Structure 1
Amino acid sequence: MVDLETAIAAVTVYPDRARVTRSGKAMLEAGEHRVRVSPLPLELLRDSIRVAGRGEVTVLGVDIVTERQPEPSDEQVTELTARRDAVDAELTELADADKAADARVEFLQRLVHKSAGSLAKASDERVAAFGDSLEAQYAAIHAGRRDRARLRQDKIREKNSLERQLADLGRKNRPDIRAAIITVDAAAPTTAELELSYVVPGATWSSTYDLRIDDKGLSLRWFGLVSQRTGEDWPECRLELSTARPAVALDIPELDPWYLSTTPPEPKRRARRSISDDLDGAAPPQMLAAAAPAGAPPLPPPAPKVREAVTTVDHGATAATYAPQRPVAIAADGTEHRTLITALDLEADLDHVTAPTRSPEAILRATARNTSEHTLPRGRASLFNDSEYVGATTLDIWAPGEERELALGVDDRIRVERELVRRNVSKATLGSSRRIEMEYTITVANHGARPTTVTVLDRLPVAHDTNVTVKETVLKPPPANRDDLGILTWKQDLAPQATTTINLGYRVETPKGVTVFGLPD
Structure 2
Amino acid sequence: MDTTEIAAPVVGVTVYPDRARITRRGGIHLAAGRHRVRVAPLPLGLRRDSVRVGGRGPATVLGVDVTVWRQARSTDAQVVGLEQRRRELADELAEVDDADGIEEQRGEFLARLVERAGGTYARALAAGDAAPSDVAAFTDSVAVQLAESRARRRTLARQRIELAEESAALGRDLDAAQGKREPDRLAVEVIVAVEVDEADVELELSYLVEGARWQPSYDLRLVDHTMTVTWFGMVSQSTGEDWPECELQLSTARPAAATGVPELSPWYLDRFRPAPPFAGSMDMSVGMSVPPAPAAAASGGGPARSAAVRAKLRETVAEVEQGVSAATYRPARPVAVPADGSAHRATIAVLELPARLDHVTAPVRAAEAHLRATVRNTSEHALLPGPASVFHDADFVASTRLPAWAPGEETELALGVDDRLRVERKLSRRVETKATLGSTRRREMEYRITVANHTPRPATVEVRDQLPVSRDEAVVVRETTIVPSPVERSELGELIWRLSLAPGDSGEIALGFRVELSKGVELTGWRE
Q: TM-score with structure 1 length normalisation?
A: 0.75
| 1:453/1:491 contact within 8 Å kept | yes
Amino acid at match of 2:195: D
Per-residue CA shift, 1:364-423, capped at 9, x if unaligned? 111111111111111001111111111111111111111212222222222222111211
Amino acid at match of 1:361: E
Amino acid at match of 1:180: V
SS at 1:465 equivalent: coil
Number of the residue aligned with 1:489: 496
Distance 1:435 1:402 in 2: 48
Number of the residue aligned with 1:313: 320
Alignment of 1:193-272 (within 5 A): 193-257=202-266, 272=283
| 1:476/1:504 contact within 8 Å kept | yes
Instruction: Tell me which of 362, 366, 371 is aligned to 1:355.
Output: 362
Number of the residue aligned with 2:140: none
Alignment partner of 1:169 is 2:181: yes
Q: How much does 1:516 deviate?
A: 3.0
Number of the residue aligned with 1:152: none
Instruction: Tell me which of 434, 439, 453 is aligned to 2:460.
Output: 453
Number of the residue aligned with 1:111: none
SS at 1:334 equivalent: coil
Change (3 A) 1:47 1:272: farther
Q: How much does 1:194 deviate?
A: 1.0
Alignment of 1:423-434 (within 5 A): 423-434=430-441
Number of the residue aligned with 1:437: 444
Number of the residue aligned with 1:372: 379
Distance 2:281 2:29 in 1: 67
| 2:15/2:21 contact within 8 Å kept | yes
Number of the residue aligned with 2:39: 37
| 2:223/2:393 contact within 8 Å kept | yes
| 1:237/1:328 contact within 8 Å kept | yes
Instruction: Tell me which of 167, 183, 191 is aligned to 2:193.
Output: 183
Q: How much does 1:9 deviate?
A: 0.2
Distance 1:170 1:33 in 2: 29
| 2:448/2:509 contact within 8 Å kept | yes
Number of the residue aligned with 2:406: 399
Change (3 A) 1:10 1:285: farther
Corresponding pairs, count? 424
Change (3 A) 1:459 1:35: same
Distance 1:425 1:264 in 2: 35
Per-residue CA shift, 1:153-172, capped at 9, x if unaligned? xxxxxxx9xx8895353512
SS at 1:347 equivalent: strand
Number of the residue aligned with 1:48: 50
Distance 1:276 1:387 in 2: 26
Alignment of 1:288-303 (within 5 A): 289=299
SS at 1:236 equivalent: coil
Residue ranges of structure 2 left out of the alignment (5+ in a row): 77-171
Distance 2:446 2:391 in 1: 38
Number of the residue aligned with 1:60: 62
Number of the residue aligned with 2:347: 340
Instruction: Tell me which of 462, 465, 479 is aligned to 2:486.
Output: 479
Distance 1:275 1:244 in 2: 38
Number of the residue aligned with 1:151: none
Residue ranges of structure 1 left out of the alignment (5+ in a row): 75-159, 293-298
Per-residue CA shift, 1:43-90, capped at 9, x if unaligned? 21100101111112122221112233257899xxxxxxxxxxxxxxxx
Q: How much does 1:468 deviate?
A: 3.5
Q: How much does 1:453 deviate?
A: 0.4
SS at 1:245 equivalent: coil
Q: How much does 1:481 deviate?
A: 2.3
Change (3 A) 1:421 1:261: closer
Change (3 A) 1:166 1:464: closer
Change (3 A) 1:396 1:390: same
| 2:286/2:464 contact within 8 Å kept | no
| 1:285/1:409 contact within 8 Å kept | no
SS at 2:425 equivalent: strand
Q: How much does 1:451 deviate?
A: 1.7
Q: How much does 1:282 deviate?
A: 4.5
RMSD of aligned residue pairs (Cα, Å): 3.0
Per-residue CA shift, 1:123-155, capped at 9, x if unaligned? xxxxxxxxxxxxxxxxxxxxxxxxxxxxxxxxx
Per-residue CA shift, 1:181-232, capped at 9, x if unaligned? 011121x222111111111111111011111112141111111111000001
Change (3 A) 1:487 1:310: same
SS at 1:244 equivalent: coil
Q: How much does 1:265 deviate?
A: 6.5
| 2:298/2:417 contact within 8 Å kept | no
Amino acid at match of 2:484: P
Instruction: Tell me which of 1, 11, 21 is aligned to 1:9.
Output: 11
Distance 1:404 1:370 in 2: 8
| 2:41/2:69 contact within 8 Å kept | no
Distance 1:320 1:497 in 2: 49
Change (3 A) 1:205 1:278: farther
Alignment of 1:122-161 (within 5 A): none
Number of the residue aligned with 2:392: 385
- Between 250-259 and 263-272, report the one with greater CA deviation: 263-272
Number of the residue aligned with 1:517: 524
| 1:223/1:339 contact within 8 Å kept | yes
Number of the residue aligned with 2:201: 192
Q: How much does 1:283 deviate?
A: 2.9
Number of the residue aligned with 2:91: none
Alignment partner of 1:324 is 2:331: yes
Distance 2:274 2:33 in 1: 73
Distance 2:198 2:419 in 1: 78
SS at 2:526 equivalent: coil
Amino acid at match of 1:22: R
| 2:388/2:402 contact within 8 Å kept | yes
